[in-house]
Amino acid sequence: MSAVTYPTRRNDLMPLVRVLTTGGTIASRRAADGRVVAADSADEVLRAVVPVEGVSIAAEEVFRVGSYRLTLPDVRELANRVRWASKEADGVVVTHGTDTMEETAYFLDLVHDGSVPVVVTGAQRNAESADADGPHNLRDAVRLASEPAARDIGVVVAMAGRVLSARQVTKVNTLALDAFAAPDGGQLGRIDPETVRLLATPRRRPAFDLDTIDGALPRVDVVPLHLGADGTFVRAARQAGARGLVLDAFGAGNVTPDVLRATEQVLAAGLLVLVTSRCHAGPVSPVYGAGGGADLAAAGAVLAGDLRAAKARVLLTLALAAGGDAGRATELLHPHVRP
Ligand code: ASP
């Protein structure tokens, strides 16, 4: 007996959840050379899942790759597929590699409109492990996506029983099953064997119109700060054609004197600069001078609130793509960096 049913339209008797697969460990197996690679089709990914009583599932494959191979244009294509899927479903689930799951979830969240929940999930152990966590995570994701209380929750990640907001979620462990956390208040609920408990609904911010994120996406680079860092990579980003830059700064948003100098130069040349913190929680704030966040803000950099660097890069890319010029892009990104 097949573990899932594959209706193409919503049947009024049962909620319909559309599952879009993209590869990742949840779809991976050991190849002949011993290396683990994405291998399973959408049907194969779903075959291992114990049916959720009273829920219809329709599955389709979007990609079949490790998420470390995905690009922002790929994620844009996925976002289009999610948009279509959500028109005719009560919930959408995306299966995805864990490495870049937080960026994809945030991208999907930035363009998500409407009340259909989108739940992103994956696995830490591949599909042929005796103790594979993928089927369990996917079943939980379907349960959450079909849950009436999840309407209006936006895009979330569901892994190892946790429900985490797309904005806050981050991978905190390379191999452990419980690999995701939301250190800055993004834990929204729990999925237990008997119950789905939602404790909070994330604040929704204005969605970007996906149709305006078209064409070649602008280059945005991330420069990580470390003790004594100089401005080489800031200048290199400009030379490489970046239109935006994320400084993954110290503490509350501080950089070294040379990075400040280089940043002032690229700002004067018209780049948009977002400042994030390499700390795991807490916002950046214009407190310090002599290379601190106050100097960066005075030079025209935008402090990115509680967003971490990889997500700030997604936001800045979308704002530049949708806004066209730096002024409009700044307006578009502001609601997303405000507390
Ligand atoms: N470790 C990854 C995963 O969990 C590989 C990837 O991101 O695709 O799926």
Q: DSSP letter string over 282-324? A: S---S---SSSHHHHHHHTPEE-TT--HHHHHHHHHHHHHHHS
Ligand 1 atom, smallest distance to 100 CA: 7
How, if at all, do strands 244-249 and 272-277 pair?
Answer: parallel
Ligand 1 atom, smallest distance to 96 CA: 9
Three-state SS at 134: helix
- pTM, two decimals, is 0.95
Pocket-forming residues, ligand 1, beta carbon under 6 Å: 24-25, 66-68, 97-99, 122, 124
Task: List the catalytic residues.
Answer: 25
The amino acid at residue 167 is R
| CA-closest residue to ligand 1 atom 6 | 97
Q: From its phi and psi, is residue 17 left (phi > 0), alpha (psi between -120 and 50) or beta? A: beta
| CA-closest residue to ligand 1 atom 4 | 98
- What pLDDT shows up at residue 1? 29
Write out the H or E segment, with its range, that includes residue 264.
helix 257-268
- What pLDDT shows up at residue 4? 43
- What pLDDT shows up at residue 11? 55
Domains and CATH numbers, the chain: 3-198 (3.40.50.1170), 216-337 (3.40.50.40)
Residue ranges of the chain whose pLDDT lies below 70: 1-12
Three-state SS at 179: coil
- What pLDDT shows up at residue 141? 98
Q: What phi and psi, each to the nearest 5 degrees, are found at residue 298?
A: -65, -30
- What pLDDT shows up at residue 12? 62
Count Cα atoms within 13 angstroms, Cβ side, for 273: 31
Q: What is the pLDDT of residues 67-87, one digit of tens each?
A: 999 999 999 999 999 999 999
Give the number of other CB atoms < 10 A from CB of residue 49. 21
